[in-house]
Amino acid sequence: MSVSNGELLQSLNSILTPENIKDYSPNGLQVEGKQKITKLVTGVTASQALIDHAVAINADAILVHHGYFWKGESPCITGMKKTRIQTLMQHDINLYAYHLPLDIHPTLGNNAQLAKLLGIEESEALEPNNSHCVVMRGRFNEGIEPSKLSELLTTKLNKTPLHEPANTKTIETVAWCTGGGQGYLELAAENGIDAYITGEVSEQTIHIAREMNVHFYAAGHHATERYGVKALGEYIQKLLPIETVFVDIPNPA
């Protein structure tokens, strides 16, 4: 059984509605390959290692969260980018990528999947009037000690987070944005949350956390964004007559 690359694109666009959000890279089919798709590889980033794995298992397409052609990067296809794209084209492999639309999807998205993994309840956008808000807020039903939240993140994500502690109070309210969402910490703190979870940390982030008395957890960009594309691939396999294979390429960042 198989579908056309156009059918897969149509299904993905129908699920993620990328036309509704302004992004930093093109969403959808980034590199066109063979017309018929029977096996789809999913992964976080379209790295050479992921492409090589797709080649090794005779996949027809790759679906990722982090693709190519980012705003502000050189448009020249040279060096590393040339090698990646050349491998895709030599093996006639389609590359699909969805960035912010995958972050914010209400059930399959990175934010939604992280909340599900951690047991966060009453999830809603931090900015209620912004339908495309990339930051979520919610609560732990019974509250959680700051050190226990570190342990929970370590267990669920298989990565020990950086934790900048604020106080010893039980954490009830939490905000989060997977990946590189440290820039939203101040907004979250202004909304009175107890703790903020994201993937990355910047130098100024620690000062904001200390001065605004909010717990900050940086749990890894890759670690916090494994789950959206995995969930999307599993959904696609139920929807369409193709095989999907999630491949987790280790990345400590």
**DSSP calls for 39-108:** EEEEEEE--HHHHHHHHHTT-SEEEEEE-S--TTS-----HHHHHHHHHHHHTT-EEEE-SHHHHH-TTT
pLDDT tens-place string over residues 98-153: 999 999 999 999 999 999 999 999 999 999 888 899 999 999 999 999 999 999 99
Class of domain 3-99: alpha beta
Give the pLDDT confidence score for residue 168 in this predicted structure: 87
Residue 10 — very low, low, confident or very high, per pLDDT cuts 50/70/90?
very high
Give the pLDDT confidence score for residue 154 in this predicted structure: 98
The pTM for the full model equals 0.96
Give the pLDDT confidence score for residue 129 in this predicted structure: 86
Contacts 24+ apart (CB under 8 A), 70-76: 70/24, 70/25, 71/24, 71/25
Class of domain 105-224: alpha beta
pLDDT tens-place string over residues 156-189: 999 999 999 998 889 999 999 999 999 999 999 9
Contacts 24+ apart (CB under 8 A), 197-201: 197/114, 197/118, 197/153, 197/161, 197/224, 198/224, 199/223, 199/224, 199/225, 200/253, 201/162
Q: 3-class SS at 245?
A: strand
Give the pLDDT confidence score for residue 1 in this predicted structure: 87
Q: What residues does CATH 3.40.1390.30 cover in the chain?
A: 3-99, 105-224
Which phi and psi angles does 71 have, rounded to 5°? -60, 130
